[in-house]
Amino acid sequence: MGSKESPYISLLRENYEFALFAVLIIYTFATADTFAFGALAGMGLLWLLLSRFLSGIKKSPTESEKKLAATLSKYKRISYYVLAGAFVLFLLLKSSAMLSLLFLVLIGLTMFFIVLAESFAGYLEGGLKSELREIVLAILWALSIWFLIGLLLGTKVPFNGVVSCSMVPTLERGDLLILKADQTDAPSIALSKEDFDTITPAATVTHSGNSYSFNGSIFSYCVAHPTERLCVEFSNDASGFAEHHGKLEFAYGYCERIAKGSNSLVSREICVKEIKFGGQALIPTQDIAVYEPHKGDLFSYSGDIVHRIVARFSYANETKYITKGDNNPIADMQVYDYSRSIGNSPFGSERVKGVVALKLPYLGFFKLALSSPLNPSIALAVENCESYYRQ
């Protein structure tokens, strides 16, 4: 007589895919990636508990459950048409903030309904145990793919979506981004500690022999105080103003905003025309970073930011990134909301989630759709989506 097989061996044999998850769990533990290890190990433990201890007896569905399943199945088929129609209408009307919000919320709720209908059908067909195990396995597969791609690209966040138009025309709202690690040996400007510490949002502005101090920038100040004499002068002669953050200088001028498609002039606006350090012009890099703003910064309420790296400044083992959206008039550290007394700070390498390696058009709209019901401001971020600054 052969020995009786262990229930755990039988369980793993019947679900061989779990061995793949186990390898990833062990690897994340060995590499001290505590978040990945916790996520994978937690879901794996839940899968084992469901498989071993949850009753697998499937009860016969009641008449009411059968009717509910039939109703859900009927509306699920309709939902696919609603999903496709809402997506097409969103693409056609995305320049309208309110319509953008409406269609994104509709897309998100429709996707949730489809998942709900599929789960209920799976519950009736295979029982609660089977359906819960399938859901956990699906989550495990998603996590494993996420962490595996992140491992290959050297970043914990291999995917992100563009939710605003601040990088038009380089990146469009709704693009899905594949990220890679920012190179540790990327060119940076080495500074003394004194110069490094002076790169802050505090701005000193000179004009006609006079000096002024502002939070963020004179641009942000004049947005809040457009009728003040100095701001009227700034509007009429922006190039006559020089703004310094230590040795970092922002030179203003006027940029032409061009309409998409027609290439016609929309407006002529004040913008940063050149960024210098110690009198030398900085050439913006080709790297577009996805970073998490400091908690409490103005941009932190919008989630991750996707902007071009203008420069990296370093002192010892510290780095400060200066970033700017291609379709924004000023750099991130210059933005200051005077109504709320809140601005942005330069950030270090620990806040960089990655740099853009590849973009996939439209696929990022799923992030917009799922995020919009929880954060409507994301859906309303349609400013300057139909125009861009002429380079």
- DSSP, residue by residue, 74-135: HHHHHHHHHHHHHHHHHHHHTTSHHHHHHHHHHHHHHHHHHHHHHHHHHHHHHHHHHHHHHH
Q: For position 4, what pLDDT does the model report?
A: 60
More confident of the two residues 11 and 121: 121
Residues 175, 181, 183, 188, CA torsion sign: positive
Look at residues 328, 298, 314 and name the one whose alpha carbon lies nearest to residue 182: 314
Q: How far apart are CA 231 and CA 222, in angstroms?
A: 5
Q: How far apart are CA 98 and CA 89, in angstroms?
A: 13
pLDDT tens-digit readout, 182-196: 986 778 999 999 999
Q: For position 47, what pLDDT does the model report?
A: 67
More confident of the two residues 95 and 23: 95
Q: Are 206 and 230 in contact (CB under 8 A)?
A: no
164: DSSP letter? S
Q: For position 249, what pLDDT does the model report?
A: 97
Q: For position 154, what pLDDT does the model report?
A: 86
**Mean per-residue pLDDT, 73-79:** 91
Q: What percent of the chain lies above the pLDDT cut of 70?
A: 83
Q: How far apart are CA 231 and CA 215, in angstroms?
A: 15
Q: What is the mean pLDDT of the chain?
A: 85
Q: For position 138, what pLDDT does the model report?
A: 76
**Mean per-residue pLDDT, 162-181:** 92
* Every domain of the chain and the residues it spans: 7-153, 176-389
Q: For position 22, what pLDDT does the model report?
A: 65
Q: For position 130, what pLDDT does the model report?
A: 73
**Mean per-residue pLDDT, 128-146:** 75
Q: How far apart are CA 216 and CA 313, in angstroms?
A: 19
Q: How far apart are CA 222 and CA 244, in angstroms?
A: 16
Quote the tokens at residue 147: 């962490």
pLDDT tens-digit readout, 244-281: 999 999 999 999 999 998 889 999 999 999 999 999 99
Q: How far apart are CA 379 and CA 100, in angstroms?
A: 6
Q: For position 87, what pLDDT does the model report?
A: 86
Predicted confidence band of residue 287 (pLDDT cuts 50, 70, 90): very high
Q: For position 29, what pLDDT does the model report?
A: 63
Cis amide leading into 169 (omega within 30): yes
Element (DSSP H or E) covering residue 352: strand 352-360
Q: Is pLDDT of 11 > 70?
A: no
**Mean per-residue pLDDT, 287-309:** 94
Q: For position 365, what pLDDT does the model report?
A: 80
347: DSSP letter? B
More confident of the two residues 300 and 122: 300
Q: How far apart are CA 188 and CA 35, in angstroms?
A: 30
In degrees, to the nearest 5, what angle opens at C-alpha 23 toward C-alphas 18 and 24?
A: 95
Q: Is pLDDT of 303 > 70?
A: yes
pLDDT tens-digit readout, 322-353: 999 999 999 999 999 999 999 999 999 999 99
Q: For position 2, what pLDDT does the model report?
A: 52
3 state SS of 389: strand
Tokens 């709900």 locate to: 116
pLDDT tens-digit readout, 110-134: 888 998 888 888 878 777 777 777 7
Task: Please compute, for residue 323, the number of CA atoms within 13 A of its CA located in the half-sphere on the CB side.
Answer: 29
Q: How far apart are CA 263 and CA 247, in angstroms?
A: 37
**Pick from 34-43, 65-74, 211-220, 227-236: least confident:** 34-43
The full length of the chain comes to: 391
Do β-strands 189-190 and 305-315 pair in parallel, antiparallel, or remain unpaired?
A: parallel
